[in-house]
Amino acid sequence: MVESYDVAILGSTGLVGQRYVEILSRHRWFNIVALSSSPGKHGLRYRDAVSWSIGGDIPEDIADMKVYSPKPEHFSGVDIVFSALPTEVAREIDRGFADYGFSVFSDSSPYRMDPDVPLMIPEVNPDHLNLVESQSRRFRGRLIKTPNCTSTVFTLSIKPIIDLVGEGIEMINLVTMQAISGAGYSGLSAMAIQDNIIPYIKNEEEKLAEEPRKILGRFERDHIEYRKLNIEAVTTRVPVSEGHTIVVEAIVRGDIDLDEIAGSLSKFKGVPQELKLPTAPRSPVRVYKKIDRPQPRLDRDLERGMSIAVGRLKLAGFGEYKVLKYIALGHNTIRGAAGNTVLTAELAIALGYMKR
């Protein structure tokens, strides 16, 4: 039996912050005891500070909680801080809470690629949590990051394939079709996205090229040896509310079989499944054989949004190389953000990395 932990949510009124509220309000390990918001809302009740937009009702036990400015001194007694802060303020605030002594689990991009910061997908790289042991040189507390939402979906899809083919992947080309919720509640105007596809998202292509190499890398004492993986990405924004879709083309050297690939994806499990952690899906990856799947509206909510969907598996050969093609889909604000981070915190507790 795991004892309960008191938690705070920074950036609780944003889209990802609302997902944290939704997930944590019904969590048997975590109690929400503090919330923060953007300037202008401090001191308001949560129901008055938030534009609730993820469906359903605001959890009753959270609705009347007051929201505060994100200053560590306002959060005494909190065991874990979940951060959904925007990039422009997260660098200072995430670091400030870790300096103060808090264990910070964060979705924001600053510090993701720092050598001593774990960049976590719990089924993929649980041993990377060992990096927190070297953070005492920088922080009184701990700082653990969740990857970019598209990196998470892609990396979950490619890990079972790497487990099968090893170093045989020569090159990966990606084209993403990313939901508008990835830009935040007010990130895109209706005139910009309606009847349109925006063929570029700032910094996304760079994140997709680099983050999976760290996540899939090998832990060595106090650092990560990045996996050698050549990734080229084109990232686009499409008029879909939630669910990021990725078209993947991998050039693979050696003898591979499509049925083996499908089997490796379907059977893939990790430490969270072995430990039966509360937020862990039974199957992190679901494979579809129907030619018209996956689709965001139909498949983004698999296992409460914590499973990704893979379909359109195809294999073509030329000489010693084969081209593997597939489509991956995942819920960007759950599996790609809040849900993944909550699962990481569960894993850290279960494996004994958490200090109170």
Q: Name the pairing type of β-strands 321-330 and 308-318.
A: antiparallel
Where in the sequence numbering do the catalytic residues fall?
A: 149, 244
Closest CA to 153 of 275, 282, 248, 37: 248
CA angle (62 as vertex; 59, 64 as ends), nearest 5:
120
Rounded distance between C-alpha atoms, residue 78 and residue 72, angstroms = 10
Write b or e for each residue in 112-138: b if 16 or more Cβ atoms lie within 10 A of its Cβ, otherwise e: bbeebbbbbbbbbbbebbbbbeebeeb
DSSP assigned state of 283: -
Closest CA to 278 of 322, 219, 213, 344: 344
H helix runs in the chain, sequence order: 15-24, 46-49, 60-63, 87-100, 149-165, 190-193, 204-215, 258-267, 271-275, 296-299, 302-305, 339-350
- Residue 76 DSSP SS3: coil
Q: Taking the mean position of all CA atoms in its chain, how far away is CA 102?
A: 21
Rounded distance between C-alpha atoms, residue 108 and residue 72, angstroms = 18
